[in-house]
């Protein structure tokens, strides 16, 4: 992936251990903003991934980051971060290169939409340059109280569940089975207001989710497995994403 610029923001791949540490520090601030002490969010998957960094060209500050782990095909998916929480044997039959996108975060003090545009432009260039056919990861809702997101989960159930042949099964000990438990019709406005920005982008491109959410008290989140088959992205949306890479 070459350096990608849009407006005042630039995306590039991490090259040094200092780059990785900067991403880990931003992740800690984004994921644990209520924590009193600063630190690093790190795990054993970091060394297996390519890390994308988005910086503010005017200040030099890192404002967004995410990591991408490449797998030759679905047979390697059991080695992914998401496989710790979801039983993914159905996806082992996926034939073609796949990438897990994880630890996506934006500096809590930033709110420019251009940050997400350049981040997704970088993701698009990464995926296209490697011929990736499936992008997947975990999309997180803040907090662990599912009731606050009933309309969002009801909309996921009604419109965005994974195809049966790829549907992840339950593995984590504590989950909210929204596809089984919810019988309500979603209120579209409330659903979209509470939907995480990253998940909104996946869904707009034709993404799909698991039928349950994992309750993660360590990260203080509810998260759903999210998949996006690259060949299913609507042409207009694909053109929009590719325009950001030029």
Q: Which two tokens stand for residue 90?
A: 């159905």
Say how far apart CA 9 and CA 51 lie, in whole Å: 16
pLDDT of res. 238: 75
Q: Residue 56: CA atoms inside 13 Å, Cβ hemisphere, count?
A: 13
53 DSSP 8-state letter = E
Q: DSSP string of 155-201?
A: HHHHH-BPPTTTPPEE-SSSEE-HHHH--SPP-HHHHHHHS-HHHHH
Q: Which helix (H) or strand (E) holds 216?
A: strand 213-216
Q: Which two tokens stand for residue 234?
A: 């609507």
Q: What is the pLDDT along the chain (246 residues), one digit of tens a residue?
A: 667 777 899 999 999 999 999 999 999 999 987 555 679 999 999 999 999 999 999 999 999 999 999 999 999 999 999 999 999 999 999 999 999 999 999 999 998 989 988 998 999 999 999 999 999 999 999 999 999 999 999 999 999 999 999 999 999 999 999 999 999 999 999 999 999 999 999 999 999 999 999 999 989 999 999 999 999 888 887 776 666 555
Domain boundaries, the chain: 4-243
Long-range interactions of 42-45: CB distance < 8 A, separation 24+: 43/81, 45/69, 45/81, 45/102
pLDDT of res. 243: 64
98 neighbors 133 (Cβ within 8 angstroms): yes
146 neighbors 176 (Cβ within 8 angstroms): yes
Residue with tokens 């297996």: 48
- CA triple 201-204-208, angle to 5 deg: 90
pLDDT of res. 239: 73
Pairing of β 86-87 and β 62-71? unpaired
Residues in the chain: 246
Q: Which two tokens stand for residue 171?
A: 């593995």
pLDDT of res. 63: 97
pLDDT of res. 246: 59
* CATH 3.40.630.30 matches 4-243: yes
Sign, Cα dihedral of 160, 164, 168, 170: positive
| 180-228 per-position pLDDT tens digit | 999 999 999 999 999 999 999 999 999 999 999 999 998 999 999 999 9
CA 115 from centre of chain: 15
């Amino acid at each position: 992936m070459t350096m990608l610029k849009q407006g005042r923001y630039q995306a590039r791949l991490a090259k040094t251990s200092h780059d990785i540490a900067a991403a880990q520090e931003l992740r800690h601030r984004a994921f644990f903003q209520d924590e009193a002490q600063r630190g690093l969010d790190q795990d054993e998957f970091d060394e297996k991934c390519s890390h994308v960094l988005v910086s503010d060209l005017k200040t030099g500050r890192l404002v967004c980051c995410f990591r991408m782990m490449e797998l030759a095909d679905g047979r390697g998916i059991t080695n992914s971060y998401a496989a710790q929480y979801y039983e993914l044997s159905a996806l082992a039959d996926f034939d073609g290169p796949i990438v897990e996108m994880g630890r996506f975060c934006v500096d809590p003090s930033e709110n420019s939409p251009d940050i997400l545009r350049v981040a997704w432009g970088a993701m698009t260039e990464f995926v296209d340059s490697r011929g990736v056919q499936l992008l997947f990861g975990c999309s997180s809702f803040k907090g662990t109280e599912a009731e606050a997101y009933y309309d969002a989960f009801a909309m996921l159930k009604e419109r965005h569940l994974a195809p049966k042949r790829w549907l992840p099964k339950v593995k984590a000990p504590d989950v909210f089975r929204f596809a089984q438990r919810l019988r309500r019709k979603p209120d579209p406005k409330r659903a979209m207001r509470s939907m995480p920005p990253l998940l909104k982008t996946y869904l707009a491109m034709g993404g799909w989710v698991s039928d349950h959410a994992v309750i993660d008290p360590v990260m203080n989140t509810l998260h759903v497995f999210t998949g996006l088959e690259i060949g299913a992205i609507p042409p207009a949306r694909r053109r929009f994403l590719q325009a950001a890479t030029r």
